[in-house]
Chains A and B, each alone.
Chain A
């Protein structure tokens, strides 16, 4: 359960990224957040994963007031949410399986359990044969699947994706979408920021449209509606 109440955020350069945004997302939902560049989409992600603190208003995820978290506590909060980024953000010096294992190692889980879980995930994201490859040896779509694998390794309740298909061609984008739907079907809430109109039309979900920091449309039916 995610609850944003009157969230306002502006940056030091004077840009008002979010203006009194209120939004609530139920467990198990799949939701798109769309809008033109500068509409505040990425800021919502940054506020949800604790990277930015709202100027006013509250963000509550699973009963945790994200904005009030101390610097020290932020990593513990992040363990319950998986993050996927447009630029993948894999650790370059670690192989595919080590990257996925890293998210479990930080929890102090035993080697044996980690190995088991990593095998499961490699199976799920279909990267078994690339387990020992380094990120720079993979294509964009493969790297994105590693990121997804790492994000769900700890079985988070919420998966947030910041333009996960931004750097991929339509064929690979479809693959990623199907994977995200699969994860959603397993019970994980998925929140995806995108400006890929084709995807939003094709995989219809609840769609929230942002413009200049305001929610201008919240359509349960989904699909891209021109402003």
Chain B
């Protein structure tokens, strides 16, 4: 037990010594880590915002289903609701009686319609249908319209569907790009750390001839990798941690329109900030793990 503790202390000693004695290499590894993590952070920021916007827009997306005016009994309304619910893409169906419809109309079109309150209400009962997949809203509306007893359907219109399609493309492209970037930065940092280890190939061989086990040689490099990863991620972390709230204040929490509301600072600090720190730690450890393992195995 004491022996293992001693070994670990010696390994730590060599980890810090390695950074101190190879300051230039460590610094270049830290800066390339900082740049990569910053880019990953940016894509993460864009990605979750597009997601957030899309969710906002989709929340407003529902189909207004107006029933035939002769459809009045509760039984008929219930069976109608069941029929609509059976359609694949339908998430929820909310009943809106003809009185509700009138109030809605008065609110939207003006007090002039208030004279229809009471017995004179010429409107029909209706449903608001929320769909699961908003990009399919057009097809779902058409399907509802074919049902017996439905007079007409309406939703945001083609401009909204186009926006939704566009967002879908942006979101997918964003995910692909950030995945590619993550792989790229892993590779970049793997190569940087591998270079620092290759420059010490002789040292590693000497350590082995003196009787150092693989883990005794490897641990200092892994600790260095983690430190380099964390230090490299710290710079973009601070940028996001203190920079995003300022950006948020300046933009008044929205991007162009209230539909595109920005995510509040504490959530971003948590998700993007700690996501970046985690990325740095993960990439730093694995890059050095693979690089040093390859070097150790090179000689018996």
CA–CA, A102 and B297, complex, Å: 21
A78 & B300 in contact (Cβ 8 Å cutoff): no
Find chain A residues with CB under 8 A from B205 CB: 89
B206 at the interface (CB under 8 A from A): yes
Per the 8 Å Cβ criterion, residues 190-208 of B in contact with A are: 203, 205-208
A89 & B206 in contact (Cβ 8 Å cutoff): yes
Find chain B residues with CB under 8 A from A105 CB: 6-7, 10
Please pick, from B6, B10, B209, the residue contacting A78 in the complex, using a CB distance under 8 A. Answer: B209
CA–CA, A99 and B17, complex, Å: 14
B210 & A78 in contact (Cβ 8 Å cutoff): yes
Per the 8 Å Cβ criterion, residues 205-223 of B in contact with A are: 205-214, 216
Chain B window 284-300, contacts with chain A (Cβ cutoff 8 Å), 1 for yes, 0 for no: 00000000000001011
B3 at the interface (CB under 8 A from A): yes
A75 & B213 in contact (Cβ 8 Å cutoff): yes
Please pick, from B21, B209, B214, the residue contacting A49 in the complex, using a CB distance under 8 A. Answer: B209
**Chain B binding surface SS class:** helix
Q: Which of A7-15, A50-58, A182-190, A211-219 is the interface stretch? A: A50-58
CA–CA, A83 and B205, complex, Å: 13
CA–CA, A78 and B203, complex, Å: 16
A89 & B209 in contact (Cβ 8 Å cutoff): yes
B210 & A102 in contact (Cβ 8 Å cutoff): yes
Please pick, from B4, B6, B214, B299, the residue contacting A72 in the complex, using a CB distance under 8 A. Answer: B214
B2 at the interface (CB under 8 A from A): yes
CA–CA, A162 and B17, complex, Å: 30
CA–CA, A51 and B10, complex, Å: 25
CA–CA, A78 and B207, complex, Å: 11
A-B pairs with beta carbons under 8 Å apart, 6 shown: A76-B211, A83-B209, A103-B211, A106-B207, A106-B216, A110-B6
Q: What 7 A-B pairs come out closest when comparing CB atoms?
A: A108-B3, A79-B211, A108-B7, A106-B212, A78-B211, A105-B10, A108-B6
Task: Give residues in A with beta carbon < 8 Å to B.
Answer: 49-53, 71-72, 74-76, 78-79, 83, 89-93, 102-103, 105-111, 150, 154
Task: Give residues in B with beta carbon < 8 Å to A.
Answer: 2-4, 6-7, 10, 17, 21, 203, 205-214, 216, 297, 299-300
